[in-house]
Structure 1
Amino acid sequence: MTTPRPPQLLAVLGAVLALVAALVVHALPAQADTGFRVQDGRLVDAAGNDFVIRGVSHPHTWYSQEVGSLADIKSLGANAVRVVLSSGDRWTENDVADVADVVARCKANRLICVLEVHDTTGYGEEQAAATLDQAVDYWLRVRDAVEGEEDYVLVNIGNEPYGNDEATNAHWASDTSRAINRLRDAGFDHTLVVDAPNWGQDWRGIMRREAQGVFDSDPHANTVFSVHMYGVYEQESTVVDYMESFVEAGLPLIIGEFGHDHSDGDPDENAIMHHAERLGLGYVGWSWSGNSGGVEYLDMVEDFDVTRLTPWGERIFHGPDGIVETAEEAPVYGGGEPTDPPTDEPTDPPADGDCTAEYAVLHQWQGGFQAEVTVTAGTDLDGWTVEWTLPDGEGLGQVWNADLSTDGSRVTAVDVGYNAVLSEGATTTFGLIGTSQGPAGVPETTCTAGS
């Protein structure tokens, strides 16, 4: 073999290095600059902080009037809430305005929002169940409500998307990968959560075997797997074996639902909570309130009353390895009183005057919008009032972190007590959902001390 002369050798090495560099760049997953992501098999936030979910499910789609539940769940120490939504295939669809309001309330209460479509439950065995494709169609319809909220929202594509029918379960991996890629192609940069087949319990081990392939199919490498632990997980050894199989494989797992009892057996909730804590895995208990059909024992509070904890509620919130003992608030909120997170570019305090108010439209959709108002103190404040005039064709719906009143087109917003006191230069925010006949306007605002 003839040895290349030095210039030839350098040329060969240069070509090889260029090829290697190209392959490395091609292999790297596309990552968003913000939002949660999977790193080394763990869920982390945009700054690289570990985030271990400690939360409960709230049946919003069936009890949309229970708007205070998110604040109640937060008051008991949860750092996340899994919110039941409907795509309209089995129950009344939660439209874009409703989803935007849910997200805003999660943020106002410093909760990470795991949004899930429930209509897919038991597909293949449950005749009325929707497909994962139908669930993706829904996410595309409500995209405006979650776009830009990657720091606060995880998208659980479909709840328990397959029952126990072997023929449909055989398509779990391909259908799940297709759903992930449809969302990515549409611009969803969120962490995606995918449920196991077998009513979420994966007792045949389909998700366990095929999770790596599904994860690899996500061009963002940002998919988390969710197993639901009910009667299949009566034995501690079964719980440990399943959890450790994902940890050892370097794949992200959460226990997306579990209870203290179930019609199909008696899950070992103590083992589930203990080993989730030991392994640093997130868990979400089912469910806050409103259960029926013989599983009322899964209510954590009676009649949505936070002062009436059931034995299950006492266990998951106050027991060993429970939410109070183990939950840590998401770093994105940074501590302090419940309110919306600060804007990226805080307004400088005014040179004179009591305060200023900056109005910003965060999201728009056909017929509606979500806005946020940032109040900045020019001097030490004990109370504030913001006023503006509604642009033509606009109306107001829900509001949070302020008390709102109207006089014709004139709008007055005042503090709600906990956000009344601001030191000079400090900010607070309040939000609202409105209706519009066209693009939402940005009205001029005035801010004065007192409320």
Structure 2
Amino acid sequence: MRTRLPIALTALLALVTAVLVMTPSAHAAAGFTISNGRLLDANGNQFIMRGVSHAHTWYPSQTGSFANIKSLGANAVRVVLSSGARWTQNSASDVANVISLCKQNRLICVLEVHDTTGYGEEGAAITLDQAVSYWISIQSALAGQERYVILNIGNEPFGNNATTSATWPTATRNAITRLRSAGFDHTIMVDAPMWGQDWQFIMRDNAQSVFNSDPDRNTIFSIHMYGVFDTAAEITDYLGRFRTANLPIVVGEFGHNHSDGNPDEDTIMSYAQTNGIGYLGWSWSGNGGGVEYLDMVTNFNASQLTSWGQRIFNGANGIRQTAREATVFGNNPTTPPTGNPATPPVTTPPVTPPTTTPPAGDRSCTAAYTITGQWQGGFQAEVRVTAGSSAISGWAVTWTFANGQTVSQSWSATLSSSGANVTARNVSYNGSLGAGASTAFGFLGSWNGTNTAPTPRCATT
């Protein structure tokens, strides 16, 4: 017996050691992860953020905003918090309540510290390291919430000061390392420098090294798109470089207008949808300082959508059209919605959708049909309409189903059917297209046996 006791103890100690060693990775796998440049929820399903920011720290009594944001179709909310350095600190109990409200309303909670905004140019701003100290101080509210919470370390952590912004890679790597060492296993979101717009490409050019510095390889990059991103070329080039590098990217803030220029929100939203990129618009309500036009609703009233609110929630490639709940809330990803186009089932659209080259020299249009999601008996499709070499004021797309498919719901177009023949006409906000510009509409349909993609035909009206 005495000779066997040490062996048993050795085995027991080895087992305990193995459990302790395995615990961090097992815990990390219980939340969001990054795989091949994509954000996956805890069930291993891709999650594409479609949501808005809510300034909770300045309007802490507006707790009904979480339910209201959800009611308009969002699947995520980015919540403004303060470490106490510039505004009233959000306590651990308050943050725990915010997370509870997010979960009650089936919203993924993206939490951010706003006090870092414009460091190096804004005198009151704090460093990323100070933001990490705040996260550690409220860690009790965050532990165990990895399935529902993404940690946005600090909002727009550097201003336009070139010297301080150049330290973004080191400061960001150090912040990630410190959070991981403190036991945080959440997906970490990092904002770009230069007020979030990265116009000197500091984040873009150092993203790989920052991602590699995370021992969990669980960091997603956030670009804010305002006046710097006022052309389609700038938007597609910036986001496209992350996609090509298989690095995760989200448009963490954007608007339809701004004091520094007019962002191209149509391209931001359409490119994000085509390429499976998340976006979070700024912001729900309560803006001041001359940017009140960025309010999506008036006085926090969900029934009083502003023009920006109408665009982001109800427009082409908007939240109602494209949002899908995270499956951690109990969704079955293979089950289509019933009577609600706000959450159509989707799979990742192709990075380069099928297109046809518009003919030159006339007022014409072309259409490309893509099946973006399919399950037993049902499917979702998108049709992209592109103007020719001259602007058009209206369009109609027709096609003929070959296998008895039928359309049940549609958005961003008026569809009519006669047997196998389908006609889709533009709605009020997407009929006018500049030369070479495009828009898209989508629909849900049914199929049985075969679901061959038809060849659509586009004509101007």
- Scaled by the length of structure 2, the TM-score of the pair is 0.66
Q: Are 2:282 and 1:253 aligned?
A: no
Q: Are 2:194 and 1:198 aligned?
A: yes
Q: Which residue does 1:210 correspond to in 2? A: 206
Measure how far apart 1:149 and its partner are: 0.3
Q: Which residue does 2:40 correspond to in 1? A: 44
Cα distance in 2, alignment partners of residues 30 and 249 from structure 1: 27
Cα distance in 2, alignment partners of residues 30 and 182 from structure 1: 20
Contact 1:80/1:113, CA 8 A, preserved across alignment = yes
Cα distance in 1, alignment partners of residues 42 and 282 from structure 2: 28
Q: Which residue does 1:128 correspond to in 2? A: 124
Aligned amino acid, residue 108 of structure 2: I
* Distance of aligned partners of 1:235 and 1:30 in 2 relative to their CA distance in 1, 3 Å threshold: farther
Q: Which residue does 2:73 correspond to in 1? A: 77
Of 117, 120, 139, the residue aligned with 2:113 is 117
Measure how far apart 1:295 and its partner are: 0.2
Q: Which residue does 2:87 correspond to in 1? A: 91
Q: Which residue does 2:221 correspond to in 1? A: 225
Cα distance in 2, alignment partners of residues 33 and 120 from structure 1: 29
Q: Which residue does 1:319 correspond to in 2? A: 315
Aligned amino acid, residue 293 of structure 1: G
Structure 1 segments of 4 or more deviating over 4 A?
A: none
1:272-311 aligned at under 5 Å gives the runs: 272-311=268-307
Contact 1:30/1:219, CA 8 A, preserved across alignment = no
Q: Which residue does 1:262 correspond to in 2? A: 258
Cα distance in 1, alignment partners of residues 42 and 112 from structure 2: 22
Of 142, 167, 170, the residue aligned with 2:166 is 170
Aligned amino acid, residue 122 of structure 2: E
Cα distance in 1, alignment partners of residues 304 and 41 from structure 2: 34
Cα distance in 2, alignment partners of residues 33 and 252 from structure 1: 17
Q: Which residue does 2:52 correspond to in 1? A: 56
SS class of match (1:119): helix
Cα-to-partner distance string for 1:93-147 (whole Å, 9 max, x where unaligned)? 0000000000000000000000000000000000000100110000001101110
Contact 1:30/1:220, CA 8 A, preserved across alignment = no
Contact 1:58/1:288, CA 8 A, preserved across alignment = yes
Q: Which residue does 1:152 correspond to in 2? A: 148
Cα distance in 1, alignment partners of residues 179 and 100 from structure 2: 22
Cα distance in 2, alignment partners of residues 268 and 41 from structure 1: 24
Q: Relative contact order: is structure 1 or structure 2 higher (C-alpha 8 Å, sep ≥ 6)? A: 1
SS class of match (1:194): strand
Q: Which residue does 1:14 correspond to in 2? A: none
User: Identity across aligned pairs (percent)?
Assistant: 62
Q: Which residue does 1:100 correspond to in 2? A: 96
Q: Are 2:165 and 1:161 aligned?
A: no
Of 324, 328, 331, the residue aligned with 1:332 is 328
Measure how far apart 1:47 and its partner are: 2.0
Aligned amino acid, residue 310 of structure 1: T
Cα distance in 2, alignment partners of residues 283 and 56 from structure 1: 8
Q: Are 2:170 and 1:143 aligned?
A: no
Cα distance in 2, alignment partners of residues 306 and 92 from structure 1: 26
Cα-to-partner distance string for 1:272-313 (whole Å, 9 max, x where unaligned)? 000000110000000000000100000000000011000000
Aligned amino acid, residue 277 of structure 1: Q
SS class of match (1:225): strand
Contact 1:86/1:119, CA 8 A, preserved across alignment = yes
Measure how far apart 1:48 and its partner are: 1.2
Measure how far apart 1:181 and its partner are: 0.6
Measure how far apart 1:33 and its partner are: 2.6
Structure 1: which 5+ residue stretches go unaligned?
1-24, 337-451
SS class of match (1:232): coil
SS class of match (2:209): helix
SS class of match (1:125): coil
Cα distance in 1, alignment partners of residues 152 and 29 from structure 2: 21
SS class of match (2:78): strand
Aligned amino acid, residue 62 of structure 1: W
Q: Which residue does 1:440 correspond to in 2? A: none
* Distance of aligned partners of 1:30 and 1:194 in 2 relative to their CA distance in 1, 3 Å threshold: farther
Cα distance in 2, alignment partners of residues 305 and 157 from structure 1: 29
Aligned-residue Cα RMSD (Å) equals: 1.6
Measure how far apart 1:49 and its partner are: 0.3
Measure how far apart 1:335 and its partner are: 4.1
Cα distance in 2, alignment partners of residues 33 and 330 from structure 1: 16
Aligned amino acid, residue 206 of structure 1: I
SS class of match (2:115): coil
Aligned amino acid, residue 276 of structure 2: G
Cα distance in 1, alignment partners of residues 220 and 127 from structure 2: 20
Structure 2: which 5+ residue stretches go unaligned?
1-20, 333-461
* Distance of aligned partners of 1:320 and 1:70 in 2 relative to their CA distance in 1, 3 Å threshold: same
SS class of match (1:283): strand
